[in-house]
């Protein structure tokens, strides 16, 4: 059974079970799981593709600029998984990355970054915020882990972020 067929089947029955619990799912207000399922299903058709090691990464990107010589704010949403010999994609994990690139002293880049890794059910299981400095020769000269959100705050922030991505991808 292909992943898309399986997810479609799960979507059909998850809507029924959610409705039975008294919280009907509607097209105007899809659940987090419905949003993630949609993103995972359409990723091979709509997202950019890259490969690393044995994994395939379908990713969406948005930002103020992708010109690496300019200051910029960028965001990425990745659906990372494996493909079988028939090129059928099987998601394993989702990841979000937000980066802000600003010029600092002596032309060094100051990069603040927020990374979340999320399971297929939408639970954030790893999150890190960091600040890095890369000098004009491209050498990392500082790497500081920043204070992060609580697990609950991080989950809420992720769900809001996915809601925005879902709306943009659905268009």
Q: Please tell me the distance from the alpha carbon of residue 22 to that of residue 25, in angstroms, as a whole number.
A: 10
Q: Where do the H-state alpha helices sit in the chain?
A: 3-20, 32-46, 151-170
Taking only the tens of pLDDT, the chain with its 171 residues reads: 454 444 443 433 333 333 323 344 456 789 999 999 999 999 999 999 999 889 999 999 999 888 888 999 999 999 999 999 998 999 999 999 999 999 998 899 999 999 999 999 999 999 999 999 999 999 999 999 999 899 999 999 999 999 999 999 998
If one counts the domains in the chain, the total is 1
Which structural domain, as residue segments, surrounds residue 83?
3-170
Reported as a single tens digit per residue, the pLDDT across 86-120 is 989 999 999 999 999 999 988 999 999 999 999 99
Nearest-angstrom CA–CA distance, 17 and 77: 28
Using CA atoms, how far apart are residues 165 and 169, in angstroms rounded to an integer?
Answer: 6
Contact 13, 37 (CB under 8 A): no
């Amino acid at each position: 059974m292909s992943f898309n067929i399986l997810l479609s089947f799960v979507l059909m029955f998850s809507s029924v079970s959610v409705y039975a619990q008294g919280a009907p799912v509607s097209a105007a207000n899809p659940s987090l799981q419905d949003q993630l399922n949609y993103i995972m299903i359409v990723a091979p058709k709509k997202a950019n593709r890259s490969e690393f090691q044995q994994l395939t990464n379908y990713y969406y990107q948005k930002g103020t600029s992708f010109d690496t010589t300019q200051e910029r704010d960028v965001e990425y949403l990745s659906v990372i998984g494996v493909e079988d010999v028939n090129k059928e994609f099987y998601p394993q994990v989702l990841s979000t990355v937000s980066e802000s690139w600003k010029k600092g002293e002596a032309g060094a880049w100051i990069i603040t970054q927020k990374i979340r890794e999320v399971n297929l059910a939408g639970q954030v299981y790893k999150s890190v915020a960091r600040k890095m400095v890369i000098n004009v020769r491209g050498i990392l000269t500082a790497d500081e882990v920043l204070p992060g959100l609580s697990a609950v705050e991080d989950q809420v922030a992720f769900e809001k972020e996915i809601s925005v991505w879902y709306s943009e991808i659905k268009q």
